[in-house]
Structure 1
Amino acid sequence: MLHAVRATLDDALTTIDPDGPQDPGLGFLLGRPLALVRTRIDLELCGPARTTVAWSQVAAPPPPDLTDYPWFVRLGDPHRTDDGLIGMIIDDNYDHLDTVVDPVDEHDGFLRPIPTDGEPPFTVSVAGEPLNTTLLVDPRVPVHATTDVLPTGTVHIPQEFTARALARMAVAFRAGPLQTDEAHGTALIPTPATAAGTWSWAEPATDGWRTLPLTSPDPTATPFSHPDLRSGYLLLGDAVTSTDHTTGEHA
């Protein structure tokens, strides 16, 4: 089932093409980071509901029927490349994931496509309780909400809530075995040439993972006295922070 979920999410991502400048986050270098968002969907009136104006009931008008009307709400639009919805959990029912594209492979009924031609999967009303949903979205683009009573609206995650998290992401490149040594708590490994960012070395250890900063070896120095063969990962991080700092210095 996990393979079906991953394949379906990959298909959904092919329908999203964000506009605007390229995101500077390193997370988008090797993948498509997603955001898990809790939302509450409710329908409210701008003032009291209109009651009957019949003379026979003007003194004691009955409760208006409008507040009990159910209105369909459609979240997302797979035909729009600027819509970021990928899937959602409706009303805290984690037995199913509703997706904007048709499911791929066997999934034991866990995946359900959101209908594009028929009725949306839920309704809201003024008198009803708000509906809680959990959305899986691309944080760079908004999610569209379409109803039969209001113009299509959009909601998006403010960049201030995602920029810092994306900036903290590091990109890992598998490397090794490398003939190298340590000097003063750093790994003597040639540092890749990049315009910004900080490189480090991570390798498995007996008590977890060991991370060391990198120091480029002196090409004129004598060879390592006791070199080791190491296999691990080259990590690139802080590229966004470094770029912003460099830009500020030249401003």
Structure 2
Amino acid sequence: MMATKPEDRLLAVVRSQLGTTESPTGWTKYGSWWAKRHDKPASWALEPWCDMFLAWCADQAGLIDVTGDHAWTVGHAEWFKARGQWGHTPKKGAFVFFDWGGSRDIKRIDHIGIVEAVRGGTIVTIEGNAENRVKRRERSLANVAGFGYPAYLPAPAPAKPPAAPALTWTEKIVKELPTLRLGAGKSKTDPLRWHVKTAFYLLHARGFGPAGGADDTVFGEAVHDALRAFQRESGLKDDGVVGPKTWPALMRVA
């Protein structure tokens, strides 16, 4: 005979409680049990009991060590997250945490249930303290803050790091541009002459044109002085070098 899966064992206990209601005063056997277990005042039996209900069921199923033993939904969610057992994919047997405000902020969690089934874009849950009773609901994922996966379920896959943002056109160009220093372009066969020309006219466009008569293909003293003035004005190191920080500044729209 095949052994019952832990989640099915827990769900069997949970289903056995369907229809159970709190007393007219708000008392439940779940709150009373939890108060005694944790040496709390008897008044705990009158507290909101959605999480204490699941603790009671887990204890009955012999699974409380892997599901958590909580009365506060926020603390329970944090307990799962601290163990790497928190995520946003619905799974049968997972604990589902709700924030009626629609956020995924653990600090805003209002309510808890257990997932009985997953149906496309909705989940079937069983919840304690749902209209003051244990009740089966079918819910959308709109108000789900997250899921806690007890140890009987596979741990969620680690989140993929966000993809690096695509380079802007300026960044793509700059990555391919050479560094220009004083003396670049002196030889007529120097391939840097065209890049010097680009820097020369970018300086003009930025209002730092080299002194009249300067060769626009040679990185001479006039270009060097104009570049350093531009770097100072732009808050850059005035080293007189057109490098990975100066090229983007020159290309910025005036």
Q: How does the TM-score come out when normalised to structure 2?
A: 0.19
Higher RCO (C-alpha 8 Å, min separation 6) = 1
State the TM-score, normalizing by the size of structure 1: 0.19
